[in-house]
Amino acid sequence: MSILDPAWTALLYLAAAVFFILALRGLSSPRTARRGNLIGAFGALIAVVTVFLSARLENIPWILGAIAVGSAVAAPVARRVKMTQMPQLVALFNGVGGGAAALVALLELPHAEGPWVRLAIVFTLLVGAVSFAGSGVTFAKLQELMTTRPVLFPGLPVVMAAVLLASVAAAVAVVISGSTAFAVLLLALGLGAGVLLVLPVGGADVPIVISLLNAFTGLAVAASGLVLGNVLLVVAGTLVGASGTILTRAMAAAMGRSVAGILFGAFRGGSTAGSTAVSERPVRSSTPEDVAVLLRYAQRVIIVPGYGLAVAQGQHTAAELAQALEARGIEVDFAIHPVAGRMPGHMNVLLAEANVPYESLKEMVEINPEFKNADVALVVGANDVVNPAAKTSSGSPIYGMPILEVSAARQVVFLKRSMRPGFAGIENELLYEPQTSLLFGDAKDSLARVLGAVKAL
Amino acid sequence: MDGMSLLTITVLAVFVGFEVVSKVSSTLHTPLMSGANAIHGIILVGAIIVAGQATDPWVLAVALLAVVLATANLVGGFVVTDRMLHMFHARKDTSRTGAAQSGAAQKADRK
């Protein structure tokens, strides 16, 4: 029995779609983001209630049970996950969404009429399966269940091409025959393609793949909406597909890479492999007390946090140091490179968790002209994102990547674990400049010692 | 709904999607990705429809699996995004240097 007539159903789905658009718009500014997300959740609630009231459904107790199970599994995980593990959780949720879309398409196949609907079904099947398997591999890489380096084996491009050709053949067979057996085969090929797509992608590029797969899942959901004739799924999926595409391109641009270069770069010779050689050239090393004096007598300090800070769980100590300096009348900002952390924007989340107000978190374009007015640039656990080689040496693997121009500051202090080069494996000339000093040690320890020394002054 | 109307809606939604996130600050890339991620969990609606029409126990089982996966995507996505955004807060006072004073003043006001 359906309670709602079709007009009301359509109206409520439209309302949900509008809420999703408002949610995405709200998410683009820190002031409105939280409200935006809640609006989105409300839209989702409306949609789920509407489907129960409008369609003639059997098995309702089973469905409610399945919803309860899904919520009971996901909500506690979402509530407890550490902020440093955010990238893998996003990958995981994205993957299960893609998997759900593929399963829905598989089950709709027997009801599909006409080649166009079947075409939408094979698209959902393939893209959903790629997203599911690709996200799974991404999760494994980020959780370090497997190596984070690019995985390559001889003949990988050939295998990939074979899988893609077989997928196309299976897809054509499904569209023509509507056979479930071919659909299951296509699903399996999609899973294989997803794995093969992500395996060759190396550590620092993995987060961009999450964004890309997010867009894929969106498109799969939109296609499933075409299959079911459900406008809400079409709109929501397309929104995510479009926004995910923009986001992926923005992130790739922040790294000075193309999306194709990230996906297939490893085929052309290890761009993210690099060397781990330790240089013997002399550097000026410093003590926590010296760094504290530099900071205490500065008027303007810019802190440049990198992933090393997050690894050392030092974001709270960094925030404390900033507060201690501000209490002494020193202007402190955090300069955030777009790809600092383990996914784009990740460092902002980590610092927000440590109670740094978002006004202090400056984007690269905003802060770069400010470095020349800074007395001290304090680089904590970052290397490649401040490496001038990205601007000067055209042979360098990071050449073209926009960087934070810390070299313009009067003094540059690096807190580093060792002289080992950063993720890209390139030497940083900045370390040997006369205005640079280095404080060796774990980022959190070093910060705590500097903080202690600042307070003692 | 006929195919042409659906196609029209799809194309318009592409433009809306491009438009709403084109001005996003990189500060919020992670929550935006996770929020967009939650939105595609709405595939739950599709999974519920398929499960509600299932008569064969195997079909029902697969459909229920889809419901579980989609719910995890939807609920987990919104919860974790909210948790992240809860942490983003504005500077409480207007002046940079007078943090201590105005903080004390606010406390005094509340009393």
Q: What is the mean predicted confidence (pLDDT) over A338-361?
A: 85
Highest mean pLDDT among A214-228, A301-315, B8-22: A214-228
**B20: nearest CB among A24, A63, A228:** A24
Q: Is B101 exposed, middle or buried (0-12, 13-18, 19+ CB in 10 A)?
A: exposed
Determine contact: A247 vs chain B, CB below 8 A: yes
Contact A348, A358 (CB under 8 A): yes
Q: Output the pTM of the full model.
A: 0.85
The two structure tokens encoding residue A136: 């799974």
Q: What is the mean predicted confidence (pLDDT) over A18-39?
A: 91
Contact yes or no for B67 and A66 at CB 8 A = yes
Whether residue A96 is predicted with pLDDT greater than 90 in this model: the reply is yes
Lowest mean pLDDT among A370-379, A428-437, B17-26: B17-26
Q: What is the mean predicted confidence (pLDDT) over A204-215?
A: 86
Q: How far apart (Å, rounded) are the C-alpha atoms in residues A335 and A406?
A: 10
Q: What is the mean predicted confidence (pLDDT) over A53-64?
A: 92
Q: What is the mean predicted confidence (pLDDT) over A124-129?
A: 96
Instruction: Look at residue B48 in the predicted model and tell me its pLDDT.
Output: 97
Give the residue on A whose Cα is nearest the Cα of B21: A243
Contact yes or no for A99 and B66 at CB 8 A = yes
Q: What is the mean pLDDT of chain A?
A: 88
**What are the CA-CA distances from residue B54 to residues A59, A87, A94, A233, A398 (Å)?**
8, 35, 25, 20, 53
**Quick one: pLDDT band at residue A205, thresholds 50, 70, 90?**
confident
Q: What is the mean predicted confidence (pLDDT) over A125-148?
A: 92
Amino acid at A45: L
Instruction: Look at residue B107 in the predicted model and tell me its pLDDT.
Output: 40
**What are the CA-CA distances from residue A343 to residues A349, A425, A430, B32 (Å)?**
10, 19, 25, 12
Give the residue on B whose Cα is nearest the Cα of A339: B26
Distance from CA of A421 to the nearest CA of B (A): 26
Contact A342, A76 (CB under 8 A): no
Distance from CA of B81 to the nearest CA of A (A): 7
Whether residue A427 is predicted with pLDDT greater than 80 in this model: the reply is no
Task: List pLDDT tens digits, range A272-322.
Answer: 444 445 556 778 888 999 999 999 999 999 999 988 888 788 889 999 999
Contact A13, A230 (CB under 8 A): yes
> Nearest-5° angle of CA A432, CA A433, CA A434?
120
Q: How far apart (Å, rounded) are the C-alpha atoms in residues B14 and A197?
A: 25
| Tokens 């940083």 belong to residue | A428
Contact yes or no for A326 and B87 at CB 8 A = no
Amino acid at A400: G
Q: What is the mean predicted confidence (pLDDT) over A349-356?
A: 89
Q: What is the mean predicted confidence (pLDDT) over A81-103?
A: 93
Output the CA torsion A352→A71→A35→A245 (10° steps).
Answer: 80
**B46: nearest CB among A21, A116, A230:** A230
Q: What is the mean predicted confidence (pLDDT) over A165-182?
A: 94
Q: A384 catalytic, yes or no?
A: yes
| A106: chain B residues, CB-CB within 8 Å | 62
Instruction: Look at residue A171 in the predicted model and tell me its pLDDT.
Output: 95
**Quick one: pLDDT band at residue A430, thresholds 50, 70, 90?**
confident
**Quick one: pLDDT band at residue A196, thresholds 50, 70, 90?**
very high
Q: What is the mean predicted confidence (pLDDT) over A240-258?
A: 84
Instruction: Look at residue A425 in the predicted model and tell me its pLDDT.
Output: 62
Q: How far apart (Å, rounded) are the C-alpha atoms in residues B100 and A286?
A: 32
Task: List pLDDT tens digits, range A401-422.
Answer: 888 999 999 999 999 887 766 6
Q: Please, what is the angle between helix A6-26 and helix A231-254, to 10°?
A: 10
Task: List pLDDT tens digits, range A322-347.
Answer: 999 999 999 999 999 887 877 778 88
Instruction: Look at residue A419 in the predicted model and tell me its pLDDT.
Output: 76
Instruction: Look at residue A279 in the predicted model and tell me its pLDDT.
Output: 59
**B37: nearest CB among A77, A94, A230:** A94
Instruction: Look at residue A125 in the predicted model and tell me its pLDDT.
Output: 96
Compute CA A427 distance to the chain's CA centroid, rounded to the nearest angstrom.
26
Q: What is the mean predicted confidence (pLDDT) over A218-226?
A: 95
Contact yes or no for A338 and B29 at CB 8 A = yes
Highest mean pLDDT among A192-196, A197-201, A356-360, A387-391: A192-196
The two structure tokens encoding residue A370: 């400010």
Q: How many CA atoms lie within 13 A of A52 on its CB side?
A: 13
Provide the ipTM. 0.86
Region for residue A133 given its phi and psi (left: phi exceeds 0; alpha: psi -120 to 50; beta: otherwise): alpha
Give the residue on B whose Cα is nearest the Cα of A62: B64
Mention every residue, 6+ apart, whose C-beta is less than 8 A from residue B82: A34, A37, A38, A41
Q: How far apart (Å, rounded) are the C-alpha atoms in residues B53 and A58?
A: 6
Instruction: Look at residue A266 in the predicted model and tell me its pLDDT.
Output: 60
Instruction: Look at residue A273 in the predicted model and tell me its pLDDT.
Output: 41
Whether residue A140 is predicted with pLDDT greater than 70 in this model: the reply is yes
**Quick one: pLDDT band at residue B109, thresholds 50, 70, 90?**
very low
Instruction: Look at residue A317 in the predicted model and tell me its pLDDT.
Output: 94
HEC per residue, chain A? CCCCCHHHHHHHHHHHHHHHHHHHHHCCCCCCHHHHHHHHHHHHHHHHHHHHHHCCCCCHHHHHHHHHHHHHHHHHHHHHCCHHHHHHHHHHHHHHHHHHHHHHHHHHHHHCCCHHHHHHHHHHHHHHHHHHHHHHHHHHHHCCCCCCCCCCCCCHHHHHHHHHHHHHHHHHHHHHHCCHHHHHHHHHHHHHHHHHHHCCCCHHHHHHHHHHHHHHHHHHHHHHHHHHCCHHHHHHHHHHHHHHHHHHHHHHHHCCCCHHHHHHHHHHCCCCCCCCCCCCCCCCECCHHHHHHHHHCCCEEEEEECHHHHHCCCHHHHHHHHHHHHHCCCEEEEEECCCCCCCCCHHHHHHHHCCCCHHHEEEHHHHHHHHHHCCEEEEECCCHHHCCHHHHCCCCCCCCCCCCCHHHCCEEEEEECCCCCCCCCCCCHHHHCCCEEEEECCHHHHHHHHHHHHHHC
Instruction: Look at residue B7 in the predicted model and tell me its pLDDT.
Output: 87
